[in-house]
Amino acid sequence: MRDFSKNHEWLSINTATVRRQWPLDRIIDECARRNIRAISPWRDQVAAVGLDRIAAQLKATGIGLSGYCRGGFFPAADAAGLKAALEDNRRAVDEACTVNAPCLVLVVGSLPGALEGKPLHHDMTRVRAEVRDGIAATLEYARSVGMPLAIEPLHPMQAAERACINTLEQALDVCDALDPQHSGALGVAVDMYHVWWDPKLEQQIARAGKKRLLAFHVCDWLIPTRDLVNDRGMMGDGVIELRKARGWMEAAGFAGYAEVEIFSEYWWGQPGEVVLDTCVEKHRRVV
């Protein structure tokens, strides 16, 4: 297992972690200043500065990507909505190529309208089938341009609004169905916040194997947790056994970045410098 205590060469910052503090170009500069070698940016943050400008800045600073956030949200209200979702996913794939991402992360979506508080129906079986079809369609295009897709299982408390894929096992079942040859074109993003509770986690990480373990996200589960979306903790402030889980990832062949992704009203309220410095320190001590 890699020793993270000496430096932070395997630290990546998911840029949502400081999205309230800074625009993406500033985030990249602040990361470069701290010798943080990788980020995972969100599409809206990229768009706000400009895709080409960000691509050029990444090149100039030598900062790489650990992923690109995000595609998905396949289930739609109607055929027109589905068509728009698929087109948007193709654009996400293209953007991921432009910024040289190792994978496009998929938050697959769930009941249409639920995120806006008005689910159009309640049929989880149906949206799971639609998600599978949506991934299949996007995969065909992504393969053609060489961009791997990483399915991110979301915590079951997000099952209605954001993702109807809620365990690593379920995500890997989709991988088996759509990429039985384990080509590397389809895999998973293991975000510990979403999967830490799963009694089958170690087993399913081993099942995934190196080719399908495309990303590893860290933060922490706070006690108590006061909000279902924006109360994630800094590594070490909660109960997730991050180092144990990283051991499972590495035993399965994963050798990439530990990407810090913290959605938190608390941390969004701190100076960005403090957040990044804390990430560096906790990465060394806790991850």
How far apart are the C-alpha atoms of 52 and 41, rounded to whole Å?
A: 14
Binding residues vs a second copy (CB under 8 A)? 111, 114, 117, 119, 122-124, 128, 155-157, 159-161, 164-167, 170, 196-199, 221, 223-226, 228, 239-241
Q: Which is nearer to a second copy, 97 or 286 (CB)?
A: 286
Q: Which is nearer to a second copy, 180 or 224 (CB)?
A: 224
The β-bridge partners of 69 are 42, 105
Q: Quick one: which of 71, 45, 70 has its CA closest to 58?
A: 45
How far apart are the C-alpha atoms of 227 and 213, rounded to whole Å?
A: 28
Least CB distance to a second copy at residue 122 (A): 5
Q: Which is nearer to a second copy, 53 or 243 (CB)?
A: 243
Least CB distance to a second copy at residue 199 (A): 5
Q: Which is nearer to a second copy, 9 or 265 (CB)?
A: 265
Least CB distance to a second copy at residue 54 (A): 32
How far apart are the C-alpha atoms of 267 and 274, rounded to whole Å?
A: 9
Q: Which is nearer to a second copy, 180 or 199 (CB)?
A: 199
b/e map of 191-211 (b: 16 or more CB within 10 Å)? bbbbbbebeebbebbeebebb
Least CB distance to a second copy at residue 170 (A): 5
Q: Which is nearer to a second copy, 50 or 156 (CB)?
A: 156
Sheet of 38-40: strand order equals 64-65, 38-40, 11-14, 258-260, 213-218, 186-191, 149-151, 104-107, 68-72
Least CB distance to a second copy at residue 159 (A): 4
User: Which alpha helices (H) appear in 231-271, and where do they start and end?
Assistant: 242-251, 265-268
How far apart are the C-alpha atoms of 63 and 55, rounded to whole Å?
A: 10
Least CB distance to a second copy at residue 111 (A): 6
